[in-house]
Amino acid sequence: MIQFPKNDALEKHSAWTNITPSQLYHLKPLNHHILCFKAEFEANDPSFRESLLPKLSQENREKVLRLRKIQDQNRSIISHILLDLMLKKFGCNMDQLETNEFGKPYLNNHALEFNLSHSGNMVLLAISSFYPIGVDVEKIDVVDDCGSFMQIFHPSEITHFQTIKREKNYFELMKIWTHKEAISKALGLGLQIDMNKIALNHNDGIIKINIIPSRFPQEWSLHTLHPSDGYIGAIAVPCSECEIHTYTIDVSQFN
C-alpha cells in the first residue's frame, strides 16, 4: 500500500468543491487565477461510451473509435465533453481549436489557456486566462524498475533520485514526474525538451525551478494536487504566484 505524506502542498488542494455541469455558468470570470476541474468515472465501463459518444462531433467520434481500448475511449470522451462545456462557459467552442507545431491544442485569437490530462479513472482540466498552463495527473502504482525513471532527473537531482530509488518511494517519484510533465506541457513543446533539462529544488519545502536553455521562462508557480486516493497531479504556470480553485464535476449529469 502506498502511503501519502501529509504536507502543506497536498492539504492545500485536498478539498475539491462539488459542481454540476449546469453550475459551471455561475462561476466567476477568471481573474489572475486558475480553475482546475476533476472528472472521476469508471474507465472500463462501456456504458459511458454508448451513452456519451453521440454527444461528440462526427470527427471526434471517429477519433475516439480509432482507440482500441475501452479505457482510452472513455477517457477521450470525458475529456472532449468536459472541454466543450468549459469552452462554451467562456464564450468559445471546439471549432476554434487549433494545434501548434508540437501538437498542443490552443484557441486562436483568444486569451483563454487550457490543458488536459488523464490517468486511470480520472480526467483533469486546468484553465487560465493569462498564462500558458500545464496540468498532469498520474495514478500511483508500484514501479517495478525505478531506475527507468532516472532519465527524467536533472544532474543536480541524482542524489535525490538515488534516495527515491532506495526507499522505493513511488509517491515522490510520481510527484517529480507530474511536476516536470506539467511544466513541459505548459511550454507546449511536446518532446522537444527533455525532462532532465528541468531542475527542481525542494529545499525548505519551496520548489524552485531551473530550466535549461534560458530562453524559456525561469519563474514559475508549481502546485501539487491530491485529487483522489491513489492519484497525484500538478499544475504549472510561468508566473511568480497564482491562486487555484479546484472542482469535482459530476459526470453522471453529462447525459
* Domain limits, the chain: 8-254
Mean pLDDT of 52-71: 94
Q: Reduced to 3 states, what is the DSSP secondary structure of residue 173?
A: helix
Q: Which DSSP symbol is given to 6?
A: P
Its pTM stands at 0.89
Rounded Cα gap, residues 10 and 226, in angstroms: 6
> Is the pLDDT confidence value at 169 over 80?
yes
Q: In whole angstroms, what is the distance from residue 71 CA to residue 76 CA?
A: 9
H-state helical runs in 67-212: 70-89, 158-167, 170-187
Beta bridge pairs of residue 236: 134, 222
**Model pLDDT for residues 36-52, shown as the tens digit of each residue:** 999 999 999 999 899 99
Higher pLDDT, 152 or 108: 152
Cell triple for 54: 453521440
How far apart CA 206 and CA 144 sit, in angstroms, is 30
What dotted CATH number matches 8-254?
3.90.470.20
> How many percent of the chain have pLDDT more than 70?
89
